[in-house]
Amino acid sequence: MASLPQDGLKHLAEATGLSVSTVSRVLSGKAAAYRISTDTQERVMRAARQQGIVVNEVARGLRLRTTQTIGLIIPDVSNPFFASLARHIEHLARAKGYSVLLADSQENVEVEAESVKLMRSRRVDGLVVAPVGISGDHLHQTGSENWPLVLLDRVPTGYAGPCVTSDNRQASKAAVQHFLEQGHRHIVCLQGLPASSANQQRVLGYQQALQEARVPVNAKLVIGHDYAIETGRSAVHELFSQSNPRPTAIMALGNLIALGALQALRHLKLKVPDDVSLISFDEQPWAELVDPPLTTLSQPVEKMAETAMDLLFQQLARTPLNSHKQEILLPVTLIQRASVAPLAGSNRIRLTERTPLRKRLR
């Protein structure tokens, strides 16, 4: 912190001829409670404004044992899904007087663990994290027992604390069922980070849909290793330039993956949806503008952020959480556009609606 020219209540006290306590009281809005005279209040305020003095929140934080800061740890801020989450969280935090300390874990467990530790040493009042891995151990280090924490979007298996996700399993299951209804049987699943719970749930939904329809599950059709655009691109290249019989549908478990898949498909001169159908997880502004307009699974991003912050604020307020509401699952919507077609030779008719169909799942 730069050493400010005029720093502190002490200085203000001298300038106004009052004591630090008094100055402190008016500056922290306790004037009424202490019945400080209007005159005094004015004097302090004016001096503060004139000399550009703002109270030192770090000293305040030390004394008050609160930083009015929440930590936000996400795997990739540049992924529009997380960027959007981050934005809503920042707004909600600010509305309650909290600032947000941001860490991008780069989909890397070590970086994440490091960030958690850092945030703890910086004494953030609470933490919301979209964890990378399937183990949540590093989230609960020794000594961090009742430290306000809520997990978002992804939840390690066996995690018992408060968390909010969308219904990933149900969503991808419904999408795959949609494919099945259109006659598809060879459906690729372009997965994201295999270690992330969201991905696991999505893959599970994919498998369940197949099993329930008595369609054999081919492990080779689940492919990919992270949520990056490149993963979609290379997986599609690999799968569609050789394999036989060629898959007829692709379930992309993330918006960037879908983009990569689209690129590869175009490169391979495969038409969507004529040659292959495609559904993407995550709705984005560009989804209806790409060629063809994409059928997507839309997560309730804003609702997710709100719910997470609710859960966090409840903890901050030391309100015991209703134990039965700790794990919150939000419904996903299937938005049907033009990237899915009935399998050639199947008896289904192609969807021709002008306006997209929205189907709330569950």
Binding positions for a second copy, 125-164, rule CB under 8 A:
125, 141-148
Output Rg (C-alpha) for the chain, integer angstroms: 26
Residue 24 or residue 84: which is nearer to DNA going by CB? 24
Q: 86's torsion region: left (phi>0), alpha (psi -120 to 50) or beta?
A: alpha
Kindly give the pairing relationship between strand 357-360 and strand 333-336.
antiparallel
User: Is residue 40 near a second copy by the rule CB under 8 A?
Assistant: no
User: Is residue 40 near DNA by the rule CB under 7 A?
Assistant: yes
DSSP string, 14-60: HHHT--HHHHHHHHTT-TTTTT--HHHHHHHHHHHHHHT----HHHH
Least Å distance, CB 14 to DNA, is 11
- CA distance linking residue 305 with residue 112, whole number of Å: 20
Query: Using the rule CB under 7 A, which residue among 6, 14, 32, 37 binds DNA?
Result: 37
> φ, ψ for residue 252 (rounded to 5)?
-95, 125
Which residues make beta-bridge pairs with 69?
99
Residue 358's binding partner among a second copy, DNA, none (Cβ under 5 to 8 angstroms by kind) is none
SS3 call for 212? helix
CB 104, CB 130: distance < 8 Å:
no
Tokens linked to 350? 């192609």
CB-based contacts of 180, cutoff 8 Å, min separation 6: 187, 209, 210, 213, 215
Query: Using the rule CB under 8 A, which residue among 263, 314, 326, 346 binds a second copy?
Result: 263
User: Is residue 62 near a second copy by the rule CB under 8 A?
Assistant: yes
Least Å distance, CB 178 to a second copy, is 22
Residue 25's binding partner among DNA, a second copy, none (Cβ under 5 to 8 angstroms by kind) is DNA
- CA distance linking residue 79 with residue 212, whole number of Å: 33
Residue 39's binding partner among a second copy, DNA, none (Cβ under 5 to 8 angstroms by kind) is DNA
* Stretch of residues binding a second copy (CB under 8 A), selected from 193-201, 213-221, 278-286, 323-331: 278-286
Residue 37's binding partner among DNA, a second copy, none (Cβ under 5 to 8 angstroms by kind) is DNA
User: Is residue 6 near DNA by the rule CB under 7 A?
Assistant: no
Residue 263 or residue 346: which is nearer to a second copy going by CB? 263
Residue 92 or residue 210: which is nearer to a second copy going by CB? 92
Query: Using the rule CB under 8 A, which residue among 10, 21, 34, 57 binds a second copy?
Result: 57
CB 202, CB 231: distance < 8 Å:
no
> φ, ψ for residue 164 (rounded to 5)?
-135, 130
Query: Using the rule CB under 7 A, which residue among 49, 52, 63, 322 binds DNA?
Result: 63
User: Is residue 109 near a second copy by the rule CB under 8 A?
Assistant: no
Residue 135's binding partner among a second copy, DNA, none (Cβ under 5 to 8 angstroms by kind) is none
DSSP structure class, residue 132: S
Least Å distance, CB 124 to a second copy, is 7
Per-residue binding string, a second copy, 292-311, x by CB under 8 A, is x-------------------
Query: Using the rule CB under 8 A, which residue among 20, 45, 109, 118 binds a second copy?
Result: 118
- CA distance linking residue 256 with residue 226, whole number of Å: 10
CB-based contacts of 198, cutoff 8 Å, min separation 6: 153, 154, 165, 168, 192
Residue 57 or residue 181: which is nearer to a second copy going by CB? 57
Nearest CA among 168, 138, 140 for reference residue 153: 168
Give how many residues touch DNA by CB under 7 A: 29
Binding site for DNA (CB under 7 A): 7-10, 17-22, 24-25, 27-28, 30, 34-37, 39-40, 55-56, 59-60, 62-65
